[in-house]
């Protein structure tokens, strides 16, 4: 399981020109599922993200979590996080989990984030999404479980 976290002032997802989800301050999470990923990995990822101290405290130090700031999360499925670019110029996605496995695990990951105290919205699995955001910092973190 791979995730790219972006600390944002706001983020939104639209599909076909229609707004699907939006959040205020918090995290935009691009989440990729591999073929060996499990609910246990999703739980570890959710716990890690909820507790990660990447928001500024009153002294300007990254010392607060998304839970501490009462922030939100927007989880967007992104199979391209498993792109294999070692050969040629066209990425291969053979290391991404198949949609029938990945979709329920992305949903479960979002539920597990909510259980950790992070209000979480989602994109639309498999859709051609337009993601808008204002990156705060910028702060971008790569995670793998």
User: Given 22, 38, 55, 80, which residue is catalytic?
Assistant: 80
Q: For residues 104 and 98, is the Cβ–Cβ distance under 8 A?
A: no
Q: Is 80 designated active site? A: yes
**Cα torsion through 83, 27, 104, 125, rounded to 10:** -60
Q: Is 22 designated active site? A: no
Q: Are strands 120-122 and 72-77 parallel, antiparallel or unpaired?
A: parallel
What pLDDT shows up at residue 25? 98
What pLDDT shows up at residue 73? 98
Q: How far is CA 13 from CA 22, 35, 60, 69, 86, in A?
A: 6, 26, 29, 22, 30
User: Given 6, 55, 78, 109, which residue is catalytic?
Assistant: 78
User: Given 79, 109, 116, 120, which residue is catalytic?
Assistant: 79
Q: Which domains does the chain have, with CATH numbers?
A: 2-130 (3.50.80.10)
Q: What is the pLDDT along the chain (145 residues), one digit of tens a residue?
A: 999 999 999 999 999 999 999 999 999 999 999 999 999 999 999 999 999 999 999 999 999 999 999 999 999 999 999 999 999 999 999 999 999 999 999 999 999 999 999 999 999 999 999 999 999 999 999 999 9
Q: Is 125 designated active site? A: no
What pLDDT shows up at residue 35? 95
């Amino acid at each position: 399981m791979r995730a790219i976290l972006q600390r944002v002032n706001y983020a939104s997802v639209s599909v076909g020109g229609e707004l699907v989800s939006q959040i205020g301050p918090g995290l935009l999470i691009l989440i990729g599922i591999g073929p060996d990923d499990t609910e246990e990995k999703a739980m570890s990822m959710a716990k890690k993200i909820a507790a990660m101290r990447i928001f500024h405290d009153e002294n300007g130090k990254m010392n607060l979590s998304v839970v501490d700031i009462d922030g939100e999360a927007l989880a967007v499925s992104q199979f391209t996080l498993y792109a294999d670019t070692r050969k040629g110029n066209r990425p291969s996605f053979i290391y991404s989990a198949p949609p029938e496995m990945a979709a329920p695990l992305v949903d479960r990951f979002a539920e597990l984030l909510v259980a950790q105290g992070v209000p979480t919205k989602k994109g639309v699995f498999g859709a051609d999404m337009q993601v808008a955001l204002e990156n705060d910092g910028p702060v971008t973190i790569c995670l793998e479980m």
